[in-house]
Structure 1
Amino acid sequence: MAGSVLADSAMEHYRGSFDNRAMLLPIASSALAIAADSRLASGRVTGASPLTASIHAASIAVGAAGLGFHTYNVTRKAGGISWNNLFYRAPIGAPAALVTSGMLGVAAQALGSGASYLGPLPLLSGRALAGFTALGLAGASAEAALLHFRGAYHDSFMWLPVTLPPLSAAALARAAMTGRAGWITTATLAATAAVGLFGMAFHAYGVSRNMGGWKNWRQNILAGPPLPAPPSFTGLAIAGLGALMLIRRFARG
């Protein structure tokens, strides 16, 4: 998730010429999150790290501020909340990916630090993580639905990220409420992870169809479909699969 945010915000804010200095913040916070979480995943950091917790908290704060900035960017234009402004102004839901990345980082650090660090958070059961990830999948799918609607769904494959992830979100929400993880939930999450990877390939093909193709990559990666956006589905699906593993482990006692 942090890698997707880093690449996507760097490209989109570069296209916006970094008109506001605050546009550097999501790039910095997501880069720091990648470094911190890589250390956490490698096992070189044991226990709760105040620095890592601060980085994740900063990601959440920057993402929340970004939601406000993007909403203001849309509403201050003539017409306010209109299709034209939603299509062509700052993507109103994009900063939520940074909030999601930070929250997943907090959950990963808490789980990696042992039960003594979890406090009142019911993360060991997996149900809280499953519910949060279901919300993330629904939000990411809504953003894809808006932008693919702008593209008039000219390719049938454009329906996949607006149909399969909501099914995964619904199945994951059910697992969060019941505490039971069935094979259908696992299958839909695995398919959603694949959609994220294949989506990046489709977006790369979309870039190649612009004049000059990849030879003119400096212009076409900014004008074509966003390459880093689809992998966010993969990141969320992996988080969902992790939640299912916790649910099954908790159910076995």
Structure 2
Amino acid sequence: MYHWVGWPLDRLLILFVALAFLLIGLQVTMSHYRQNFHHKAMWSPVVVSPLIFLSGLGLAVYPSAFFHYLFVFLLFAGVLTGMAGFYFHYRGVGVRVGGYASRNFLMGPPVVLPVVFLAMSALGLIAVYWR
């Protein structure tokens, strides 16, 4: 019952980020599977998400240098993945009939989801490096 007592905020944030990547990874996998992974870049968030989840969970439960460096490396990969995803999703909206019309933002690839991926990666980096 009292396993959480004494955990610093950064450790709780790392656990939160790890669990968030589990859910984001499920959503990204379903969305990209629905599109049949027609672009190789679609595999990046599908692969990176569970790795961030596992390394973050490991760091929260068993803080060690290995999990620390692995988590940080994967979070930087998450930032790059989010940036690339934003580019591909934004471009994907533009190539639809009608270009950047509001209906294409509603029906096309979700432009905000890669930003969420990037923001969660940044939150994880803040949790690791905040002093």
> Which TM bucket (shorter chain)?
0.7 to 0.9
SS of residue matched to 2:42: helix
Supply the AA of the counterpart residue of 1:123: P
Matched, 1:133 2:17: yes
Indicate the structure (1 or 2) with the bigger Cα radius of gyration: 1
Matched, 1:193 2:84: no
Matched, 1:143 2:34: no
Matched, 1:209 2:72: no
CA RMSD between the two structures: 1.7
Moved over 4 A (4+): none
Supply the AA of the counterpart residue of 1:234: L
TM-score (norm 1): 0.46
Alpha-carbon deviations, 1:54-89, whole Å to 9, x = none? xxxxxxxxxxxxxxxxxxxxxxxxxxxxxxxxxxxx
Structure 1 pair 180/244, CA: closer, same or farther in 2 (3 Å)? farther
- Quick one: higher RCO (CA 8 Å, sep 6+), 1 or 2? 2
What runs of 5+ residues in structure 2 fail to find an aligned partner? none
Percent of residue pairs bearing the same amino acid type: 30
Aligned residue-pair number? 125
Supply the AA of the counterpart residue of 1:227: V
Structure 1 pair 233/239, CA: closer, same or farther in 2 (3 Å)? same
Supply the AA of the counterpart residue of 1:160: S
What corresponds to 1:220 in structure 2?
104
SS of residue matched to 2:113: coil
Alpha-carbon deviations, 1:124-183, whole Å to 9, x = none? 4x2222112100011001001111111111111111111112111111111111122432
Alpha-carbon deviations, 1:16-54, whole Å to 9, x = none? xxxxxxxxxxxxxxxxxxxxxxxxxxxxxxxxxxxxxxx
Q: Report deviation, 1:121.
A: 6.5
SS of residue matched to 1:148: helix
Q: 1: CA distance between counterparts of 2:102 and 2:37?
A: 25
